[in-house]
Amino acid sequence: MQNPSDQFELSKLDRVHEFIAAGNLAEAGRVCAAIVKENKDASEAWWLMSEICLRNGHTAQAAECAQKAAELNPLEARFQVQRAKCLALLGRRKEAHAAAESASELNVRDADLLDALGGVYSACGAFEAAVPLFEKAVSAQPENSNFQYNLGAVQRMLGRIEEAEETCNRVITLNPSDYQAYYTRSDLRRQTADQNHITQMEKLLERGITDWRGKVLICYALAKECEDIQAFDKSFQHLKLGADTQRMNTRYDVRTDIAVIEKIIANNTKDAIVAARPGYGSEEPVFVLGLPRSGTTLVERIIQSHSLVESAGELNDFAVELVRLASENKPNVRRDELIEIGLSLPMEELGRRYVDATRPRTGATPKFIDKMPINYLYCGLIHAALPKSKIIVLKRDPMDSCYAAYKSYLTGPYPFTYDQVEMGKYFVAFRKLVEHWKSVLPAESFLEVSYEHLVENTELECRRIVEFLGLPWEEGVLDFHQSSAASSTASAVQVRQKIYSSSIGKWKNFQEQLQPLRGELGCYKDSVSR
């Protein structure tokens, strides 16, 4: 629906579309800016300006422009979906979910908009709501491999594994260069000697993959499938090639991350945490954290199986609200400054904003789980802002923990996982940080759980966790693998199985290849940390 006030700008808007199609975002932005300067009610121009900002990586400005377009023309589905998408990218899930609901009421029919709206719901953790939107997009354009892949990804999260594999196969048939689909498919089940995709993917490597990212994905997928069939030497060859390629294309210095951890320890003393302004009194949040692939998803599923707990998934809301609150006093606050001023912020306000930001995904049960692993950086602030919350940190045998992270293709805040030496150095710093939290946080708020103990003595450890949370024991907690709840983590397939011990000691299949890692772990290398 075109706003009448935009009509006289149609020729200029056509030029903007042409510039965007040609990749000339600078000129497209210039023309758009001229349009809205002449006519502040030009909703189409505001929408296009939002898209230009988004493509330039200016997400906050994109959200502002999308908001303007949506306010000017609230019945235009494109504008509402764009607003929802921008909010989701900013991590403002509550607002994004509300915007997605508003867009859904407009009876969206365009396949691209249906797919985008499904993506917003997925980003908000509303996977069940995303499925019909992706299905409609696929039905409208069955030859669109991107739509097919998005459907397959959410099927995986919901545990619809056979459907997800069929969808991934369709994606690969439609687009043999969709390397993400190969990677996702490899992890949907344990491959066997008779049923795997190793030959198919090795041929891709032999022919050459020009996009280094695609090469990385295929290497990690091959490493996983080769390990499944116990072709260990071949598995590690593929893994190292993939990890080395990713590391070569990543700007990162592990010393920076270690310095951050050291600064967190120095600034989050017991006295400093106690002296922080009183926090928000909510007893709802349960933070499950630790290094990736250390067992955090397993603990999440166990706790989630209790009738008084729900999981909100991996939320970035605490970090987002922390930065927003700090930025109100100091715009563009740097990470090192945030560490210095964090505990001086109004803790009650931070805690309240965090809990509010988790809605509507939370609030239906007395407690909810936030399973963002890297929240281990914020334990002091979490306790100060939410003193009645519970924090559970996972520990795992050092070699198993590091190997599991190294062999997983982890993006985002985990660049230390692409190199054995860096992985080892970071692990040592991480353990130092955990020991610090144990010494400064009260025992009733902070619990360390051993992955090995959990596997070997499941009921005993489950009872300990439930008691720590102050909840009555329920036998259903032991049936966590039967839960139909969605999981968006790398362990989404494994957590739907009964607890198993086969992951313990798996690194020993690669003892020679993992010598650089063993050397960095020092005193950790020969024993399981209990």
Which sign, positive or negative, has the C-alpha torsion 431, 357, 385, 454? negative
| 309-311: strand order across its sheet | 309-311, 367-370, 285-289, 390-395, 446-450
Q: Please name the amino acid found at residue 318.
A: F
**In contact, 338 and 329? CB cutoff 8 Å:** no
Please choose, from the candidates 521, 517, 493, the residue with its C-alpha nearest in 3D space to the C-alpha of residue 224.
Answer: 493
In this prediction, residue 497 carries a pLDDT of 54
In this prediction, residue 92 carries a pLDDT of 87
Report in angstroms the alpha-carbon separations of 328 from 95, 333, 341, 477, 497.
19, 9, 13, 42, 46
In this prediction, residue 5 carries a pLDDT of 46
In this prediction, residue 484 carries a pLDDT of 54
Dig out the tokens for 441 from the structure.
Answer: 């946080």
Report in angstroms the alpha-carbon separations of 237 from 355, 507, 510.
45, 15, 11
**In contact, 65 and 79? CB cutoff 8 Å:** no
Q: How many CB atoms lie within 10 A of CB 228?
A: 18
DSSP string, 352-372: HHHHHHTTTTS-SSSEEEE--
- Per-residue pLDDT of 291-309, as tens digits, reads 999 999 999 999 999 999 9
Q: Any idea what DSSP says for residue 460?
A: H
In this prediction, residue 11 carries a pLDDT of 79
**In contact, 139 and 114? CB cutoff 8 Å:** no
Report in angstroms the alpha-carbon separations of 135 from 156, 375, 433, 439, 488.
14, 34, 45, 51, 19
Helix, strand or coil, per DSSP, at residue 309: strand
Distance CA 122, CA 492 (A): 14
> What pTM was estimated for this model as a whole?
0.87
Assign a CATH topology to domain 254-500: Rossmann fold (3.40.50)
- In this prediction, the residues of the chain whose per-residue pLDDT falls under 50 are 1, 4-8, 487-488, 490-492, 495-496, 525-530
